[in-house]
Structure 1
Amino acid sequence: MKGLHNLSSDFLLSLVTEKNMSLNTASSYKADLKIFFTFIEEQGLNFKTIKKNDLGNFFQKQKERGFSDNTVSRRLSTIKQFFKFLVHEGLIDRNPCEEIKNFKKTKKIPGFLSEKEVLSILNSASRVGKNDVEKARNKALIEILYASGMRVSELVSLRKSLFIGTPEIILIKGKGNKERMVPISKIALSAVKKYLKKLKRANLELYKNEFLFPSRSKNGFLNREKFFLIIKEIAYTAGLNAKHVSPHKIRHAFASHLLSNGADLRVIQTLLGHKNLSSTEIYTHVLDEKMIKTVQENHPFAKKDFKNLKTYN
Structure 2
Amino acid sequence: MSQTSIEPFLEMLAAERAAAPATLEAYATDLADCAASLLRQGEDLDTASPEGLRAWVSEMSASGSARRTIARRISCIRQYYLFLLRDDRRPDNPAAQLDAPSPQRSLPKFLTEAEVVALIEAGTPEPDSAPVPRRRLILGRAALELLYATGLRVSEMLALRRESFRENTRMLLIRGKGGRERLVPLSEPARIAVQALLREDSAHPGPWLFPGRSPSKPLTRQGFDKILAELGRRAGISADRLSPHVLRHSFATHMLAHGADLRTLQTLLGHADISTTQIYTHVQADRLKEIVQAHHPLGQPQDNGDTIPSSATDEKNL
TM-score (norm 2): 0.87
Which stretch has the larger CA shift, 134-143 or 86-95?
Answer: 86-95
Q: Are 1:217 and 1:223, in contact at CA under 8 Å, matched by a contact in 2?
A: no
Name stretches of at least 5 consecutive residues in structure 1 with no aligned partner.
none
Pair 1:169 & 2:200 matched = no
Name the residue aligned to 2:263: 266
Map 1:41-190 onto structure 2 (within 5 A).
41-127=39-125, 130-190=132-192
Shift of 1:219: 7.8
Shift of 1:300: 5.9
Deviations 1:95-121 (CA, angstroms, capped at 9, x unpaired): 110122443232210112111111121
Q: Are 1:22 and 1:177, in contact at CA under 8 Å, matched by a contact in 2?
A: no
Deviations 1:231-290 (CA, angstroms, capped at 9, x unpaired): 222212221110121011110000001111111111111111111111111111342244
Q: Are 1:156 and 1:223, in contact at CA under 8 Å, matched by a contact in 2?
A: yes
Which AA in structure 2 matches 1:10? P
SS at match of 1:31: helix
Distance 1:296 1:88 in 2: 56
Distance 1:254 1:28 in 2: 28
Match of 2:241 among 237, 241, 244: 244
Distance 1:282 1:253 in 2: 13
Distance 1:216 1:233 in 2: 18
Match of 1:231 among 228, 231, 239: 228
Match of 1:34 among 21, 32, 35: 32
Name the residue aligned to 1:199: 201
SS at match of 1:240: coil
Q: Are 2:253 and 2:284, in contact at CA under 8 Å, matched by a contact in 1?
A: no
Which AA in structure 2 matches 1:168? R
SS at match of 2:152: coil
Distance 2:49 2:168 in 1: 59
More helix by share: 1
TM-score (norm 1): 0.88
Distance 1:150 1:20 in 2: 18
SS at match of 1:4: coil
Shift of 1:170: 0.6
Shift of 1:52: 1.2
Name the residue aligned to 1:287: 284
Distance 1:233 1:58 in 2: 43
Name stretches of at least 5 consecutive residues in structure 2 with no aligned partner.
none
Name the residue aligned to 2:217: 220
Q: Are 2:30 and 2:76, in contact at CA under 8 Å, matched by a contact in 1?
A: yes
Shift of 1:180: 0.6
Shift of 1:77: 1.0
Structure 1 residues 289 and 104: CA distance shift in structure 2, 3 A: closer
Q: How many residues align?
A: 306
Which AA in structure 1 matches 2:161? R
Which AA in structure 1 matches 2:309? L
SS at match of 2:255: helix
Distance 2:167 2:63 in 1: 53
Structure 1 residues 290 and 134: CA distance shift in structure 2, 3 A: closer
Match of 2:253 among 227, 252, 256: 256
Shift of 1:230: 2.1
Distance 1:218 1:198 in 2: 14
Structure 1 residues 177 and 297: CA distance shift in structure 2, 3 A: same
Which stretch has the larger CA shift, 71-80 or 133-142?
Answer: 133-142
SS at match of 1:94: coil
Name the residue aligned to 2:18: 20
